[in-house]
Amino acid sequence: MYIWEAFKVAIESILSNKLRTFLTMLGIIIGIASVITIVSLGAGGQKAILGEFEKIGVNVFSIKMRNDVDIREGDRLTLRDVEMIRKRLPSVKYAAPVAEKMGLAKTEKYTKRALFIGTDFDYGNISSLKVIHGRFLNEKDILLGRNVILIDKDSAIELFGYEDCVGKSIKIGTYYYFDTAKIIGVIDSGNLKSLGGSIADQIPIIAAIPITYAQKIFPDINISQIYVMTYDQSQLEEASSQAVRLIESLHHNKDKYKTENLISFLEEFNRILGIFTTVIGAIAGISLLVGGIGIMNIMLVSVTERTKEIGIRKAVGARRKDIMIQFLIESVTISLIGGAIGILLGYLLANIVGPFIDIKPIISINAILIAFFFSTAVGIFFGIYPAQKAAKLDPIVALRYE
C-alpha cells in the first residue's frame, strides 16, 4: 500500500523535472544498452554455431590442406586417403571426401550456375542432410562413377516447376563440355546450402554428385577436404591427429594438413566474444557507475529541495523507514526507466550492428532480467545515501527549512 503511494510521489517528482531526470538517466541508458547489445549479439552468434552442430554434429572434423605451405601434386588428398581413414582408424565411423566445382546446369529451358559437390555415400550420414525425394548416393554410384545427381529443392522448383523431379535428366558441366546426369534425389535446400559455405547463398543450384563422376567430367577437380565422423565426441582430438599422421605416412610428407572441428570453432568464437564482452562490459560498467553517481547527485538535490516536504511528512508521523523507502523508490524508478529505455536502445543497436557481422541478435528474457537487475541495483546502491540523508533529517530542522 505505502509502496504504491511512494511510487506515485516518485513519478510526480520525475514528471515535474523531466529534462533533469532524463539527463541523469543517460549513463544508465548507455550502460544498459551496451549490455543488451553484447548479450543479444553473443546469444545470436552462439545459436548460429549451435545450429551448425545440429547440421554437422559435434563429433565431426575435417581434414584440409594447410594454405600457408607449398603444395605439390603428390600432397593432394585422394580417395585412397578416405579409404584408409575408414579402414585403419577404429574410432572413425564415417569419412567422406568433398570436392567442389563451380559450373553450369542446363535443362531444355534454363541454364543456371551451379555448385557441384563431389562426394560419396558417407556424406549423407555425416552431414545429416535431408533427402526429401528419391535417395542419396550409394556405394555403387561411387564405384562405377555413375552419372547421377541430387539437387536442392529450391533449384528443382526453379528448373522444373515442382519439387519431385527424380528421374529427370539434367545437363551439367563447364562452358565447353556438358554431360547428361540423371536426378536421383532432391535435398532440403536449407541443409545443403549451409554446407556449401558462404558462397552458397549466391548460387542458385547446389548439387551433389559422386566424387568419381566429378573427377570424370571436371578433370582438374581436387578433393578440398575430407569430413570424418567419429563414434564419440571424446575421440575427436585423438582421431584428428591419427588421421593427419596416417595421411602424412601415405604421402610421405609432413605438416601439410590441418584439421578443423566445430568445437574449436565455437571455442574461437567464445574467445572473441569474451574479448568483446570484456571491453563492452567495461564500457557498460563505467556508464552504470557514472549513471549511478548521476542518480546520487540528483537525489541529493531532490532531498535538499524537498527538505520542507520531509519535515511535513515527519510531523504527521512518517518514520525514518517511510522517508527512506520514498526516496529509494524514486531513485530506483529513475534507474528502471533508464534501464527500460536502455533495453529498447540496445535492441535497436543489436539489430543495426547484427547484419554487419552476420549475426541475428537474440533478445532473451535473461538479458532483459539482467538489465532490470542492474538498473535496480544501481538505483538502490546510489539511492541509499541520499535516502538515508533524508530519513535522518530532524523534523523541526526540516520544517524550518525554506
Residue type, 107: T
* C-beta atoms surrounding 213 within 10 Å: 23
320 counts as binding other proteins under rule CB under 8 A: yes
Among 81, 120, 154, 309, the residue binding other proteins under the rule CB under 8 A is 309
- What's the min distance (Å) between Cβ of 296 and other proteins? 23
Kindly state whether residue 312 participates in binding other proteins, applying the rule CB under 8 A. Answer: yes
Q: Applying CB under 8 A, does 316 fall inside the site for other proteins?
A: yes
Query: Cα separation of 32 and 16, whole Å?
Result: 25
Smallest CA-to-CA distance from 132 within 110, 107, 151 is with 151
**Region binding other proteins by CB under 8 A among candidate stretches 189-197, 305-313, 332-340, 343-351:** 305-313
User: Is 358 one of the binding residues for other proteins (CB under 8 A)?
Assistant: no
User: What is the rounded distance in angstroms from the CA atom of residue 125 to the CA atom of residue 290?
Assistant: 55
State the cell numbers at 191. Answer: 541443409
**String marking each residue 260-299 x if it binds other proteins according to CB under 8 A:** ----------------------------------------
* Alpha helices per DSSP H over 145-201: 153-160, 189-195
380 CB-side CA count, 13 A: 6
Q: Among residues 352 and 397, whose Cβ is nearest to other proteins?
A: 397
User: CA 356, CA 379: separation in Å to the nearest integer?
Assistant: 34
Please identify which residue in 109, 161, 317, 365 interacts with other proteins, judged by CB under 8 A.
317
Closest CA to 342 of 382, 275, 281, 287: 287
Cell of 379: 538505483
In whole angstroms, the minimum distance from the beta carbon of 313 to other proteins comes to 7
Q: Is 322 a residue that touches other proteins (CB under 8 A)? A: yes
Task: Give the binding-site size for other proteins (rule: CB under 8 A).
Answer: 23
CB of 29 or CB of 393, closer to other proteins: 393
Task: Note whether 318 binds other proteins by CB under 8 A.
Answer: yes
Positive or negative, the CA dihedral 221, 52, 134, 186 is: negative
Give the residue from 158, 83, 153 showing the smallest Cα distance to 121: 83
Identify the three-state secondary structure at position 209: strand
Is the CB of 5 or the CB of 83 nearer to other proteins? 5
154/125 Cα distance (integer angstroms): 22
Torsion angle, alpha carbons of 272, 276, 277, 278, to 10 = 100
Q: With binding defined as CB under 8 A, does residue 314 bind other proteins?
A: yes
Residue span binding other proteins (CB under 8 A) among the ranges 139-147, 255-263, 318-326, 364-372 = 318-326
Closer to other proteins by Cβ: residue 24 or 326: 326
Q: Which helix (H) or strand (E) holds 295?
A: helix 262-305
Which one among 2, 231, 265, 373 touches other proteins, defined by CB under 8 A? Answer: 2
Q: Which is nearer to other proteins, 316 or 365 (CB)?
A: 316
Using CB under 8 A, pick the residue from 80, 87, 254, 319 that binds other proteins: 319
- The nearest distance, CB 386 to other proteins, in angstroms, is 19
In angstroms, the CA 36 to CA 348 distance is 10
Q: What is the grid cell recorded at 165?
A: 523431379
Query: Is residue 313 a contact point for other proteins (CB under 8 A)?
Result: yes
Task: Answer yes or no: are the C-beta atoms of 120 and 142 closer than 8 Å.
Answer: yes
From the list 61-69, 290-298, 363-371, 392-400, the region that binds other proteins by CB under 8 A is 392-400
Q: How far is the CB of 320 from other proteins (least distance, A)?
A: 6
Among 12, 163, 255, 358, binds other proteins (CB under 8 A): 12
Q: Which residues bind other proteins (CB under 8 A)?
A: 1-2, 5, 9, 12, 16, 308-309, 311-322, 395-396, 399
